[in-house]
Structure 1
Amino acid sequence: MIAALIFLAIVVAIAGWWLSRQRLFSKPWLETGNAGLAPGTEAINQPASKVGLGVFLAVVGALFALFFSAYFMRMEFPDWRTLAMPRIVWFNTGALVLSSIALQMAVVAARRGRLQALRQDLLAGAAAAVIFLVGQVLAWRALAELGYFATSNPAYSFFVLITGVHGLHMIGGLIALARTAVQSAGGEVTERLRTGTELCATYWHFMLLVWVIIVALLAGWLNEFADICRQLLV
């Protein structure tokens, strides 16, 4: 429960930082003089898609926080058996890290107007993400071969649920990434393409953060962290 609350607090902090960068907390109606010269009025020029993504990520973060809280509460029942983490999970984590790095490189290429590098980075990021998703399916099969089933072990049910919901969000991100890749087929780096690339990269970084916390949860590291927090609060 404590770890879930800490994660939710991190999500809220990230959302607040995002909104502050969009300058949504400014009050341009209190300024006098030319509106174009008033400080804080840059929010008018910010794409609505950036604001929408920030709100969406906050909702997604709250959803996963609820999953984590339910996971901790279900662990207290006597029928709970801890899962043996398949080795491929670590490979999948590496693939997602590489995908996030590739999209960040795509952002840099877009800002510098390097269209060819942008296309390559988008393709690399998408390929690594697909490898991650395939690896997740293999991880489910590996656990099933070890004798873990949804009806016999609730830990396996939570593993499939949490990683499955994360995978669905990754598939949605791939659809958005595909649209951005289609836009890169043009002859130049437009502002729309640059914005789309930045949005995809931000989404990927957030999904990577969520995945790292999921791995820490399933591997038992968050349990140790929660115990330390309880000791500090006592």
Structure 2
Amino acid sequence: MTENYQLVDNAAEQPLSMHPKKFAMWLFIVTVVMIFAAFTSAHIVRQASGNWLEYDLPSLFWSTSVVIIASSGFMHWAYLSAKKNDFVKVRIALSITFVLGMAFLIGQFMAWGQMVDAGVFFVGNPAGSFLYIFTGLHGLHLVAAVIYLLYLLVSSFKLKVNSENMLNMEMCSTFWHFLGGLWIYLFIFLLLNH
């Protein structure tokens, strides 16, 4: 009986540990999920109330979706290379991820041009407003991720990204994959609900 008490007591003394920066990042990710869940719910409710503009999604959304998926693959390659201390591959993979991230942002901006050409504006019908909010808010988060990625790329040239120092790589990789997944969710949502 005493042994059982000691086991329980030892387990209680060992708290679950997570780096404070990782914990803050996960809280931020949960917040972003809640924001987009609220917006997608509001989209469905507003669409059901009528007076909804029917429009075709910009064709560039297909291309930018492929770009963001590819960038996630290169980010994972960078992560695996960092764990193996393969510094050349880390730099190559992070550089490609950065270029693809910029290509995604430029593609999304050009997609806004396609929306304007199709007569879908931010002001006017709520259908267009939601589309601009979804893409703009996601793009804003991706800008933050690209800046973080640039910081990580510079750090990789200083050999600060290695198997002994993976915190920033893990955080950037997690955030990047999250934003890629979020875009795919939004794109599918828009395909089904526009």
Q: TM-score, normalised by structure 2?
A: 0.88
Which of 148, 173, 179 does residue 201 from structure 1 map onto? 173
Instruction: Tell me which of 25, 30, 34 is aligned to 2:9.
Output: 30
Mapped to 1, the partners of 2:32 and 2:103 lie a distance apart of: 23
Q: CA deviation at 1:157?
A: 0.9
CA distance in 2 between counterparts of 1:207 and 1:136 reads 14
How far the C-alpha of 1:153 sits from its partner, in A, is 2.3
AA aligned opposite 1:30:
D
Paired positions, count: 188
1:122 maps to which of 89, 94, 116: 94
Q: Give the Cα separation in 2 of the matches to 1:150 and 1:52.
A: 32
User: Runs of 4+ in structure 1 displaced over 6 angstroms?
Assistant: none
Match of 2:56 among 75, 84, 88: 84
Aligned partner letter, 1:58: V
Q: Could you say which residue in structure 1 is the equivalent of 2:4?
A: none
Which residue is 1:110 aligned to? 82
Taking the TM superposition and a 5 Å limit, the aligned residue runs for 1:27-176 are: 30-31=9-10, 43-44=16-17, 46-176=18-148
CA drift of 1:194 comes to 2.0
- Determine the C-alpha separation between the residues in 2 that align with 1:216 and 1:192: 39
The 3 A distance-change label for structure 1 pair 29 and 172 is farther
- Is 1:181 equivalent to 2:160 in the alignment? no
- CA-based RMSD of the aligned residues comes to 2.3
* Alpha-carbon distance in 2 for matches of 1:218, 1:143: 14
Distance 1:151 1:209, change over 3 A: same
- Per the alignment, residue 3 of structure 2 pairs with none
Percent sequence identity over aligned pairs: 27
Show structure 2 runs of 5+ residues with no match: 1-6
Find the aligned partners of 1:87 and 1:148 in 2 and give their Cα distance: 14
Single out whichever of 180-189 and 92-101 deviates more from structure 2.
180-189
Secondary structure class of the residue paired with 1:83:
coil
Which structure has more RCO (C-alpha within 8 Å, separation ≥ 6)? 2
